[in-house]
Structure 1
Amino acid sequence: MPGPSNKKQKRLDYRQAQKEDGITNMPKKKFYRQRAHANPFSDHRLTYPTRPEDMDWSTFFPAFVADAQLDQRPDTAEGTESPAKLPPKKLTKEVEVVDIGCGFGGLLVALSPVMPDTLLLGMEIRSQVSEFVQDRIKALRIKDPGQKQFQNIGCLRANTMKFLPNFFRKAQLSKIFICFPDPHFKQRKHKARIVSTTLNSEYAYVLKPGGIVYTITDVEDLHKWMVQHLEAHPSFERIPEEEQEADACVQVMRTETEEGKKVERNKGPKFVALFRRMEDPPW
């Protein structure tokens, strides 16, 4: 007589049932649990475009697919056995806001009504967590009778430390959120921190002039590290605190992420710093 299903089997059964039901109910986190840390230097067997023009965003933002889409395949070249690959479908808007390490998607969901005309993307390296956010977005869209809300958010499993420029062209983004990133306390692990001299150059590349990097953490040492490295970069300047507090996204970032809520319950500190992408100097 078989014993009770283990946790992994229960997760698989739950998610299969979710798919069969069409994701009509909000997903439950306990069936998408995964280790809090993922090694960004490991090979996670991720798929990514060779260049931003090759990325098909239509599955993430179907409501923003351009009306005039040619579904016919290009003619097969003479002497070949299969037709050429279809080009990616075009959207009416480009992705402008990215939440790096989006976790369970709290910030995305909260920002969706705040920025209804902007496409927001969460990028998460953990497979189970990114699948939870994708299922959460599907459920939210189904629950909206007018099917207008939450159409502007999506989640992609990706390693931003390796492949950020593969997804976004130069000066495409207006905002990058880095909320409660892994502190990597040990000095030998500092190379895995999501803010560094090298990565800051990639953020500067994909951000348009005037774009903003938002950072928040409950670890003071990490806050000082991020401030130090972003202030030292020639493409960024720190935004004054008065202007920072007037930004509507800052309050959302403080209160709506899962980690932010946990810090709030534990009455812990939250350290916030914003940095503006400056114009490139003339040649």
Structure 2
Amino acid sequence: MLEGEGNPTLNKKTGLPRKRFYRARAHSNPLSDSHFPVPISPAQVDYASHYPKLSDGSKKIEFADIGCGFGGLLIALSSLFPDTIMVGMELRDKVTEYVKERIVALRANNPGQYENISVVRTNSMKYIPNYFEKAQLKKMFFLFPDPHFKEKNHRRRVISPHLLDEYAYALAVGGIIYTITDVEELGEWMKSCLEDHPLFEALSNEELEADPAVKLLTTATEEGQKVARNDGQTFQAVYRRIAMR
């Protein structure tokens, strides 16, 4: 029997999960309580279950895709940085399950590849310190986050002055935060928060052009591809973690 045959959630030809069986609301309320396991500390992160072929303890997660959606960026980054361990963090349970199944299928269909990526269902606005040690990360991605248009809901935005303190803690000096949105007001908000924070500075145009991850911001995700199809505009802010002056 072909892989995927007899299971309607899998594509018979590719063995990959069918996205329509894992659809969920576009966003979840990050301030509501959800029930999922959370490690007590970064030392308790179960690397063996997430990266079974890389679980010798010699490497730790270095890239985090916050609100990873259906995993497009993770998949693209996995091939671009095959020696780097990375994780997607997603609050929606169905979407997280889709990414898990997608990674399992990709590993099965491409032996030796995609072993460096995984996904966890968690609330990154609450539990970043539970997953990452100080200065552990080299890259954090925030692609097309929920804009939370109403002013009273701005506290739910995943980029804020308070949360940037936590991201700065998790990022090594020289580490980079990547943000992009198709909502101009949100783009200005994220750029302003980063610009005003004492531990971040903007990358130069030359650095942006030379960074291969920047090119994925508009192409690797479902949201980015949708914006491109509709000839929409995007607003990005890419900033480096710097030492305290």
Whether the TM-score (by the shorter chain) exceeds 0.5 is yes
SS in 1 for 2:88: strand
Task: Return the letter of the residue paired with 1:198.
Answer: H
| 1:88 corresponding residue in structure 2 | none
- Picking from 194, 215, 220, the partner of 1:230 is 194
SS in 2 for 1:136: helix
- Picking from 34, 44, 67, the partner of 2:34 is 44
| 1:193 corresponding residue in structure 2 | 157
| 1:113 corresponding residue in structure 2 | 79
**Are 1:123 and 2:100 an aligned pair?**
no
Q: How many matched pairs?
A: 237
Q: Structure 1: where are the runs of 5+ without partners?
A: 1-12, 67-90
Matches within 5 A, 1:228-267: 228-267=192-231
Distance 1:113 1:143 in 2: 14
Cα deviations by residue, 1:160-219 (Å, 9 ceiling, x for unpaired): 000000010000000000000011111111110000011000000000000000011111
SS in 2 for 1:212: strand
**Are 1:209 and 2:173 an aligned pair?**
yes
**Are 1:61 and 2:27 an aligned pair?**
no
- Aligned-pair identity (%): 50
**Are 1:31 and 2:14 an aligned pair?**
no
Distance 1:261 1:36 in 2: 16
- How far the C-alpha of 1:14 sits from its partner, in A, is 4.5
Task: Return the letter of the residue paired with 2:198.
Answer: P
Distance 2:231 2:42 in 1: 42
Q: Which structure has the bigger radius of gyration?
A: 1
- How far the C-alpha of 1:280 sits from its partner, in A, is 2.8
Distance 1:134 1:107 in 2: 14
RMSD of Structure 2 on Structure 1 (CA): 1.4
| 1:139 corresponding residue in structure 2 | 105
| 2:144 corresponding residue in structure 1 | 180
Q: Structure 2: where are the runs of 5+ without partners?
A: 1-6
SS in 2 for 1:255: coil
- How far the C-alpha of 1:58 sits from its partner, in A, is 1.1
Distance 1:241 1:189 in 2: 33
Task: Return the letter of the residue paired with 1:270.
Answer: T
- Picking from 168, 174, 178, the partner of 2:132 is 168
Distance 1:259 1:121 in 2: 19
